[in-house]
Chains A and B, each alone.
Chain A
Amino acid sequence: MEPSVENSGSGVQVKDGLAEKCQKLFLEFLEEFQNPNGEILYLPDAEELIRPERNTLVVNFTNIEHFNQQLATTIQEDYYRVYPYMCRAVRHFARDHGNIPPSKEFYVAFSDFPTKQKIRELSTARIGTLLRISGQVVRTHPVHPELVSGTFLCLDCQSVVKDVEQQFKYTQPSICKNPVCSNRMRFMLDTNKSRFVDFQKVRIQETQAELPRGSIPRSVEVVLRAEAVESAQAGDRCDFTGALIVVPDVSVLAIAGTRSETSSRVTGREGFQAEGIQGLKALGVRDLSYKLAFLACYVAPTNPRFGGKELRQEDQTAESVKNQMTVQEWEKVFEMSQDKNLYHNICSSLFPTIHGNDEIKRGILLMLFGGVGKTTMEGTSLRGDINVCIVGDPSTSKSQFLKHVEDFAPRAVYTSGKGSSAAGLTAAVVRDEESHEFVIEAGALMLADNGVCCIDEFDKMDLKDQVAIHEAMEQQTISITKAGVKATLNARTSILAAANPIDGRYNRSKSLKQNVNMSAPIMSRFDLFFILVDECNEVTDYAIARRIVDLHCRNIESVQRVYATDEIQRYILFARQFQPKITHEAQEFVVDQYKRLRQRDAGSSKSSWRITVRQLESMLRLSEAMARLYCSDEVHPKHVKEAFRLLNKSIIRVDSPDISFDQDQPDSQDITDHDMLGAESQGTNGTSGTEGTNGHPGKAVDVDQQPIRSEKSIAAAQPAFKMTFSEYRRISNLLVLHMQKLEDLDDEGSLKKSELINWYLQEMEGEIDTEAELIAKKSLIEKVLHRLIHYDHIIIELTKTGLKKVGGEGEEPRTEEDPLLVVNPNYMLDD
């Protein structure tokens, strides 16, 4: 490294004033820079360097910027040129403060370099300047010693030539230093007296996030030296600070700096020595191209932007995320957080090509935000991830939802239940073919750690495989005990599952549990269940038709996004850093709502599952996600309200989709509601026509086989009576009980419809005060009866009584206006 030796070949060595000034300033910096406590910051580190295994001093680049902006700029722009001088400064510094062996080499490394380049941006203009690049390590080579400075023995006169600097090439002294000896070629390297440094090559590759679509990721060789070796493993995402260089020819650099590689170049040009040269090369034919390499002095794990490895690394804070954004990016995020209509806007921007299904979109969105993971006092951790399941008829864009999420969310894995076993989902122990060692192979759930695992055709998965992912869904870990390997692995993932109903179509008359081939424990682990039913009514049909036709007409406008995908991604990353706490009012509200859910649950027996603590937990998670969405530190009642509404939509609606309207829900704009409306209004005026056959007494229709087509109807806009499902059940039970009682008493006890209505109104007498109420009750009971007869087939209408000779003689031939009613013999009163 001493200039005196360097000019062994080329004779005159230009003194590099700038570099030497830089060395001086840098030494000053090391000597003087103090931390806030007034201590010299780098002194303890430098004293550490006395230990034999240490040789690198890590300097925080921002400190240099604080100390002397000009010095920082010089280092940045002429990094490669001044680097040896800085190393020399470190050596002087260390030597001043400790007793170190004179021959020891020292290196400097810069951490926290502010700007970051993409691999794709490395161009000729950047050669030699200080850069930070990040990438995924794809290949590492073994560490081996590199000759830094050689000591040679002249084979002719036995004199020793010391300190021949080596850079990338094995370089012999060009001439023996003994003036009388003219040996230029015959030298022997004295390895004991030469100095070596650890050297390692790794290759890094562009991360997916940086890659333009349709291109192969670029890679670059990184040369690591000294203490930086072995700090990156294949598969890691790391930041490398250093400089881009061209190899093997460093001539361009040599001009900029004073680094002299002339000796090696001389041999190269004359072409007789060291290199094994082909005939053609000897004639001066040479390749015009160089290879690139990145000479890194410092390696650090990647500070994740979105798409980085750690989506929700624990030590990330909102502040640190903000710092990683550019000003424009941050402004956009801020603007979004101020958006009054944010919830809706993000939803519509996230799935622009999927029509309707707003609740599902909302559910998925909240899943992306996630709840707050908690640890109880006993040390049990409660998951914050929200699991969502979509059950639906074929061809209702379930897979599209999943594909979208896979496309959008970082670390999302898409897998199909049909094709993957439990092992493929969780983790498998496999024997490595070469080493015969057991290794753990990550399954989809592990790969999606801190992300989303999309499982299509969840129901097609073996039941025992479904069970295997229990643990992952609640405890968020995967344990393996197999073939002598015992491990617990993290699988902190949200699960987005899609399942087909058992019979191919969702059967509304059955409960969710009966519709889906899933075990109850698994089902309870989903926070939200959504049912996608192939709805038929004009409004939605038009909307669907419009969407599809638009798709085919190249109407670009049909895809409207308020926010771009990357904006939402950034926003989610930022918002996820919030850990909202539940306020007192929200607490009370939660308790309130939970109580209500429980009570309703007690009333209805047809529920798919009982409302338990799990649903309470889900509600909390959803509320937290909701609060995060608005970047709020606290969970307010309004957040809980929306969470409750979603939860309500997802469970309650599923259980009793038949006629009920939640009176407490003013927001009833979704498709299901429209449809209910239709069904109901048909009930009022649809006495004639096609339903006649269904009502035929000879046809004993089983309750369970009720087709969905009963929903086909006209979406009348007129308001209809609302009735909760439990209310409907109550009335129907009342009627059936009454009728059965009568039938038991008397075989001929068939009741006329009018009689039944009258009886019911008498029963209700106590509740009726005005005439208007009486009329309302009357039409209500008529509708309930209509439904019981035509849809649920609990009561059978005997119209053509003459055929069966059960009715009175008088009414025989005509179609009854006041038919006889009997309870379907197959009907069993439940509970």
Chain B
Amino acid sequence: MMPSSHDWINNPMGVVEGMFAQRNSNPQWGSKVVEYFKDKLKEKEAHTWVPSLNDVPLHYLKPDSLVKFRCLIQDMFDPEFYMGVYETVEPSNNAKVLKCGKYKDVTECGVDLISRNTVTSERQTFYCVPVPGESQWAKDSYACSSQARVVPSTSYVPSRQKRSYEEDDDMDTQPQKQRELHIEHHGNGDSKRQETEAPSSQTTTPSDCSSHLDLNFPLPGERGPACLVKVYEESDSFKLNDTIEVYGILSMSPVLSGVAEEKDLASSLLDPVESMETVEEQRAHSPPASLVPRLHMLFAKRLQHNNPLLPSAPLEDNSTVFSSFLSEITSVRADLLAYLTHILLGDGLAAEYLILHLISSVYSRRDVLPLGKFSLNLSGCPTTSPYTDKLYTIIQQLVPCSYRLGMSLQNMNSLRLVPRKDYVANRLVSGALQLSNNTSLFLDETQLEQGQLDTSGVRNVTALGNLISWQKVDYDFNYHKMEFPCNINVLISSEGRSLLPSDCQVHLQPQVTPSNMEEYFSTFLLAQMSSQLNRYRVYLTVARTLDYSISDEVTKAVEDDFVDMRKDDPQSISAEDLHRLLVVARLLSLSLGQTTLSRDCWMRAKHLEVLRTSRTEQQKSVNGNEP
């Protein structure tokens, strides 16, 4: 069954060229190509047959085959022109043939450069990196849902041709086995990786070269291939920091790499254009294809979320999956609440707020004001034990993307948080705040000590403050700053009130004081089934993406309520408080799976807030950190 149907994966260029040949000067042929591939992928599970750059090592992939890549647009290069149509001359008989230059970087045969039939076209290049801070469970889960020929490494033969035949024979059985293996493996939550699916095996090569080639990952210690994605259609619809899944044709021709090497200083004087690019630029824009492959985009799917446990299509299309989930949402919530309560040392209120925080998301912006953000400051965290470490591990296991930033003085002074434009290499040097939407950013203020912040330290703290207050990062373009909106869930753990702003501060009140934190957590973690964790993960993502509205009736009630509260005691509630209360009410409703605000929920939200603020009041007398 497989060989013929998989031709479009193994040799997509064949399809493209075939369509080009039949185009009959129809300018629409390009969209037909895209349609063809989209149709193919609509088939059930078809998209799992396409190998992913995220989990298959690059040297196992066949050049010019169809691959997919789940990534973040880290930088956008200037557009480049290429020969969309060119003419080749057969040296033997001087026959001229028109060829299509789309979806490829190089051509093999002699090109007639002065042909009148040459058509110059334009394409856009994006520099894409794997989604920063992607949790291990998400990576594993994506990898094991893939049915692309992932064969255990021992049987992996580099010769692609041979292997593909081999594999076609046992294609039916292989994936099945694979999946079992994965699930089993995944079950114990260990992150030991299988060699076949490990993007980390990438690092063996890059780590040697990375000394002179910076792949420009936003977060330190990231792995995986970066990729130059060539975009042919609608490149304007993509924005920086978008998370997309690209389906495209892989190109790794070594010709693309070597440009930087042959550099003759003497000739540069005579051929100024040859030195049009500096060495730095060449390194940034034409890195070796073996490290940074080129991917010619056929089409891309924008990822609404990065949760492998849910279908990536918009939720409305999966109403069945969805409604079945909604039915058990309350039980999942209760379980999760219990789980988090335990982790927060028995503090149920903090656990409630943590859930609200985890499902928060900026859903709209009014001028400068982001709506729906809910950054949480968890004060009163124990500092003696590695508590924050553990807490982060738990969060990491719940969300698809996360990053922990220890706010030690040294980190604040030395880290590069804000992306900066490097005009020498003409690229955007990434920073730790270049994150995909809904990444959980865990700021650990318990690591802060007294001392001097230097200039970059002040800048970093300001950037964090801006991020929390306005959900935007001002990228440094040297001559000016440019703000990029973002949507990052910021959780600050601190001893007292954090020095950073936050939407909401909860003071932790531990009910239990485990003598051995390590033990407390490890015994507990083991008790959590991975299926249970998966329920939580699905729950958090679904709750975030639900639609929400407030009926006119409730609107009125809320307004009256506000005015009444003000009447009794004007100090009790300010406009800001109402704002927060509405966010809490919204998140609370969503966490319960309700898509409209009910009176009940409103009262509950008010109750939560009262409990929370009363704690803060108590705390106020203790620390003088108030403004």
Contacts and interface: CB of A to CB of B under 8 A. Distances in A.
B333 interface: no
Interface in A114-161: 123-124, 127, 136, 138-139, 144-147
B627 A394 contact: yes
Contacts of B577: 395
A145 B470 CA distance: 50
Given A124-B120, A265-B113, A276 B262 contact: yes
Contacts of B271: 168-170
Interface string B612-627: 0000000000000001
Interface string A217-235: 1111101000000000011
Contacts of B368: 400, 403-404, 407
Given A216-B240, A276-B262, A419-B458, A290 B82 contact: yes
Nearest to B235: A215
B110 A269 contact: yes
B474 to A, nearest CB: 10
Nearest to A248: B273
Contacts of B276: 201, 221, 247-248, 291, 293
B174 interface: no
B424 interface: yes
Interface stretch (B158-166, B197-205, B475-483): B475-483
Interface in A632-687: none
Given A276-B262, A290-B80, 19 more contacts: A127-B120, A138-B479, A166-B270, A214-B241, A217-B482, A247-B276, A251-B118, A268-B113, A285-B255, A287-B255, A287-B256, A289-B123, A293-B273, A545-B562, A549-B550, A551-B366, A552-B582, A712-B567, A712-B570
B44 interface: no
A246 interface: yes
A280 B255 contact: yes
Most chain B CB neighbours (cut-off 10 Å) among A217, A219, A291, A541: A541
A579 interface: no
18 contacts: A147-B270, A214-B484, A215-B239, A235-B479, A247-B276, A280-B255, A285-B255, A286-B255, A292-B79, A395-B574, A419-B462, A504-B627, A536-B566, A538-B566, A542-B563, A544-B562, A545-B559, A551-B366
B239 to A, nearest CB: 4
B515 interface: no
Contacts of A12: none
A762 interface: no
A470 interface: no
B558 interface: yes
A124 B369 contact: no
Interface in B181-238: 236
A733 interface: no
Contacts of A552: 371, 550, 582-583, 586
B239 A559 contact: no
B428 A216 contact: yes
Which 9 A-B pairs have CB atoms at the shortest separation, nearest pair first?
A214-B239, A395-B576, A536-B570, A170-B270, A545-B559, A216-B76, A289-B82, A545-B562, A168-B273
A340 interface: no
Given A252-B120, A504-B627, A548 B582 contact: yes
B546 interface: no
A281 interface: yes
A248 B276 CA distance: 9
B423 interface: yes
Interface in A181-228: 189, 199, 201, 203, 205, 208, 211-221, 223
A280 B256 CA distance: 10
Contacts of B579: 548, 551
A170 B269 CA distance: 9
A699 interface: no
Contacts of A265: 113-114
Given A534-B570, A548-B582, A286 B111 contact: yes
Most chain B CB neighbours (cut-off 10 Å) among A208, A252, A549: A549
B555 A287 contact: no
B369 to A, nearest CB: 6
B597 to A, nearest CB: 9
A199 B272 contact: yes
A576 B81 CA distance: 43
B104 interface: yes
Say whether chain B's binding surface is mostly helix, strand, loop, or mixed: mixed
A395 B424 CA distance: 44
B240 A215 contact: yes
A246 B81 contact: yes
B75 interface: yes
Say whether chain A's binding surface is mostly helix, strand, loop, or mixed: mixed
B320 interface: no
A170 B78 contact: no
A288 B578 contact: no
Interface in A492-535: 500, 504, 534
A278 interface: yes
Contact of B81 (A201, A280, A292): A292
A47 interface: no
Interface string B71-103: 000011011111100100000000000000100
Contacts of B1: none
A121 to B, nearest CB: 11
A450 to B, nearest CB: 15
B578 to A, nearest CB: 5
B290 to A, nearest CB: 14
B364 interface: yes
B274 A248 contact: yes
Interface string B366-407: 111101000000000000000000000000000000000000
Contact of A208 (B76, B79, B239, B480): B480
A398 B274 CA distance: 55
B108 interface: yes
B264 interface: yes
A373 interface: no
B81 A138 contact: no
A254 B118 CA distance: 12
Given A168-B271, A251-B113, A545-B558, A217 B477 contact: yes
A431 to B, nearest CB: 14
Contacts of B563: 538, 541-542, 545
Contact of B574 (A166, A247, A534): A534
Contacts of B101: 288
B113 A269 contact: yes
A98 interface: no
A255 B110 contact: no
Contacts of A221: 276
A353 interface: yes
Contacts of B75: 216
Interface in A549-581: 549, 551-554, 559
B426 interface: yes
A288 B570 contact: no
Nearest to B469: A399
Given A215-B240, A246-B120, A248-B274, A288 B267 contact: no
Contacts of B79: 218, 292
A169 B367 contact: no
A622 B535 CA distance: 63
B76 A215 contact: yes
Nearest to B419: A216
B503 interface: no
A603 interface: no
A278 B260 CA distance: 12
Interface string B250-262: 0001111010001
B277 interface: yes
A714 to B, nearest CB: 9
A289 B272 contact: no
Nearest to B479: A235
B236 A212 contact: yes
A755 to B, nearest CB: 37
A344 interface: no
A251 B112 CA distance: 10
